[in-house]
Amino acid sequence: MVSIRTKFKGQSIETYVIYIILILAALAYIIPFLWLISGSLKSNTELFADPPVWIPSEPVWSNYVTAFQQFPFWLYFKNTLYICAMAILGGVLANTLVAYGFSRIEWKGRDALFIVVLMTMMLPFQVTMIPLFVLFQKFGWIGTFKPLVVPAFLGNAYFIFLLRQFFIGIPKELSQPAKVDGASEFRIYWQLTLPLSLPVIITVAIFAFTGAWGDFIGPLVFLSDNKLYTLSLGIQQIMSVNDPRWTLLMAVGVSMTLPVLVIFFLLQKYFIQGITFSGIKG
């Protein structure tokens, strides 16, 4: 009896300790966010005050208004949105086709070629970056959105992998009758496989969006015209001038993060699935 009681007591102390550690860690994860939001609502004096101002005495909401007016926010926003839309469209269209070919049709050499797909995931972007720049320049694509948009329609190894894993799990019995009836592969892909695969398609769309939304090195290398800048690149360009208006930059930063957070909260399940899938089956 005594031993059971001490054991129980020991466990509950352990539970408290775990809670304390988790709450402290959670605070450490949340505070930087709050610091950014607080900074975006400070006046310039408050921002540089030492000791720091935790909560702005009078939130300067006009930082947001000013930022949207001074910074070519809407232009950069429109550019970013266009690239994201293309990334989603291309990401879903091309990769579902490719993944279908790698999973629902049996042909010689398929699995060997799929290993090549997986291997390209390991290839650092820096290795192909310079020749791509030269190639795009020869095509006359530098100074247009094409270097960021066209590749999105030509397959992405990670998305192919995610979709293929899902397609493999669809029972053969579902597509067999259609095949016997003489339906073309494309019809089976379009009318049967895609509707069944909505969850993984949403996952791919989300990752295509967040990837393009926050991409920095792509726009930096390939978009030479400042009329084409994305939000990421635009913010960085403004940061690199002397003595930038930090409070305004923070306001833009908060505004740029918000859409991603909203999508995450609406579609959390798909995010988590997409990530665990790669980690466990990888």
Partner 1 sequence: MSSKTDRKNLRNGLLFISPWIIGFLLFTAYPLFSSLYYSLTDYNIINEPVWVGLDNYVKLFTGDSLFYKVLYNTLFMIVVGISVTTVGSVFIAILLNNRRIRGLAFFRVVFFLPTLVPLVVLSILWIWVLQPDNGVLNTILGFIGIEGPGWFSSPFWAKPAFVLMALWGSGQMIIIYLAGLQGISDSLYEAASIDGASSWRQVLHITIPMLKPAIVFNVITGMIGTLQSFAESFIITNGGPDGSTMFYSLYLYQNAFQYAKMGYASAMAWILLVIALLITLVLFKLSNGFKAEE
Q: Determine contact, residues 99/160, Cβ cutoff 8 Å.
A: yes
How far apart (Å, rounded) are the C-alpha atoms in residues 11 and 34?
34
For the bound state, the minimum distance from the C-beta of residue 96 to partner 1, rounded and expressed in Å, comes to 9
> Closer to partner 1 at the Cβ: 5 or 108?
108
Looking up tokens 């001490």 gives: 6
For the bound state, the minimum distance from the C-beta of residue 198 to partner 1, rounded and expressed in Å, comes to 20
Q: Determine contact, residues 141/228, Cβ cutoff 8 Å.
A: no
For the bound state, the minimum distance from the C-beta of residue 104 to partner 1, rounded and expressed in Å, comes to 9
Q: Which of 140, 148, 139, 170 is nearest to 89 (CA)?
A: 148
For the bound state, the minimum distance from the C-beta of residue 128 to partner 1, rounded and expressed in Å, comes to 4
How far apart (Å, rounded) are the C-alpha atoms in residues 133 and 220?
11
> Closer to partner 1 at the Cβ: 1 or 116?
116
Q: Determine contact, residues 256/235, Cβ cutoff 8 Å.
A: yes
Q: Which of 34, 32, 38 is nearest to 55 (CA)?
A: 38
For the bound state, the minimum distance from the C-beta of residue 276 to partner 1, rounded and expressed in Å, comes to 4
